[in-house]
Structure 1
Amino acid sequence: MVAQAEVRREVGTIDDVIAEIDAAREAIWEKPPQEVLDLSVGKVPLGTGAKNNYLSTMIFAENELRTLTDEILWFAWATATRHPELDLKTLVAYMDEMGQYKANMNIYVGLPEAGEVMKLYVGGIRKAATMQEFADLTQSIMTYMNRLHGWVDIAFPWGLVDGFKRVNPIQRIADAANA
């Protein structure tokens, strides 16, 4: 488990934070960031990995980014855009805690630049005065993390799963019924 260190990063205005996150996304749009290239060959800054391998680290990186983008950030954005009448302070407090955890986890799994971008987001949402500002910040970080997740997904050695094929469960049921 990653030690939970509170993230305190001074940031500029909401527009400045969005511009910085968007610039980070544009920098990785056409080609994978160096941290993903490094991770794909086992260069992990903290040496993270079970039993001296980096496959477990890649599994965690892929999973952490998927849950961050497809669940946490998307639900925060959807909540902010669909329910602007809700309490901003509570949503910010929740995403502050979740964002700090995910920033630390990104660093732990070999994605320190992504961790820093997530810290930038956390600093930004702390300044959000409206649900729209929160939504705009969340949309920005969500697109950055989605792109990063795409690169990690491409780098992941999916061919390894061929050694773990299971019997088609529907066929197994049909075969049992015919026996």
Structure 2
Amino acid sequence: MTARAELRTEVASVEDVIDQINAARDDIWELPPAEVLALGRGQVPMGTGAKNNYLSTLIFAENELRTLTDEILWFAWVTATRNPKADLATLVLYMDEMGQYKANMNDYVGLPEGCRILKLYVGGIRLASSLDDFARLTESAMTYFNRLHGWVDIVFPWGIVNGFQRTNPLERLLERAQGAGQAVAS
């Protein structure tokens, strides 16, 4: 993490949290964060990985960030911005629990800075006094984690999937149907 986005542990206000998250996002916008580069080299601070490999850790990191950004943060933001009758206290309680869980998973899969940013977000939503505060905090976190997820996608060894090619299921159906037709003709 660069000096520009020095993350403080205290949470002073919603605006302060948004500013900190946005600064952290700006720091990783053009270049990947050190934690992602380390993860791509198999350097996982907690030593996470099945049978002494880090591919499983990368798979979990990619999945945890995808579900965080594309589902959890997105749906929280949509709820806060499109449903004026949404209950702020319930949203905060839900996102507090989910945010703490996902933050700890970020740490577990080698993204300790992602963990700290998500816990910062949770501290911020606890201060939210309106759906607008909650939505702005969530949007800020969503843009940070979308960017982090993009970097993890880039270091992921997608070429490895070539070793796991499957037959097109439609071709299998066609082959089965053709085989059944030949069996009837015999």
Using structure 1 for the length normalisation, give the TM-score.
0.94
Query: What is the distance in 1 between the residues matched to 2:21 and 2:86?
Result: 25
- The amino acid across from 1:127 in the alignment is L
Corresponding residue for residue 38 of structure 2: 38
**2:161 alignment partner in structure 1:** 161
Q: What is the percentage of aligned positions where both structures have the same residue?
A: 69
Shift of 1:125: 0.1
- Paired position in structure 1 for 2:90: 90
CA positional deviation for 1:77? 0.3
Query: Which amino acid in structure 2 is aligned with residue 142 of structure 1?
Result: M
Counterpart for residue 27 of structure 2: 27
Q: Which has the larger radius of gyration?
A: 2
Amino acid at match of 2:165: K
Provide the rounded CA distance (Å) in 2 between the counterparts of 1:79 and 1:39: 33
**Match of residue 6 from structure 1:** none
How far is 1:178 from its partner?
Answer: 1.9
Aligned-partner Cα distance in 1 for 2:48–2:168: 35
2:6 maps to none
Return 122-131 or 10-19, whichever deviates more: 10-19
For 1:40 and 1:87, the matched residues in 2 are separated by 40
Q: Which amino acid aligns with 1:22?
A: N
Aligned match of 1:100: 100
Please name the residue that 1:4 is paired with. Answer: none
Deviation at 1:148, TM superposition (A): 0.3
**Does residue 148 of the first structure (1) align with residue 148 of the second (2)?**
yes
**Residue aligning to 1:171:** 171
State the secondary structure of the residue aligned to 2:47: coil
Moved over 3 A (4+): none
Which moves more between the two structures, 167-176 or 114-123?
A: 167-176
1:3 maps to what in 2?
none
CA distance in 2, matches of 1:93, 1:121: 13
Displacement of 1:10 after TM fit?
Answer: 3.1
Q: Offset at 1:84?
A: 2.0
Number of equivalent positions: 171
What is the identity, as a one-letter code, of the residue corresponding to 1:137?
L
What do the CA deviations read for 1:19-70 (whole angstroms, capped 9, x no partner)? 1000000000001000000000011111111111111110100000000000
Q: Which residue of 2 aligns with 1:112?
A: 112
What residue is the counterpart of 1:5 in the other structure? Answer: none
Q: CA deviation at 1:16?
A: 0.8
Distance 2:34 2:77 in 1: 28
Find the counterpart in structure 1 of residue 58 from structure 2. 58
| Larger RCO, structure (CA 8 Å, separation 6 or more) | 1
Alpha-carbon RMSD: 0.8
Find the residue that maps to 1:69 and give its secondary structure.
Answer: helix
In the alignment, structure 1 residue 12 sits paired with structure 2 residue 16: no
In the TM superposition, residue 160 of structure 1 has moved relative to its aligned partner by 0.6
**Which residue of structure 1 aligns with residue 73 of structure 2?**
73
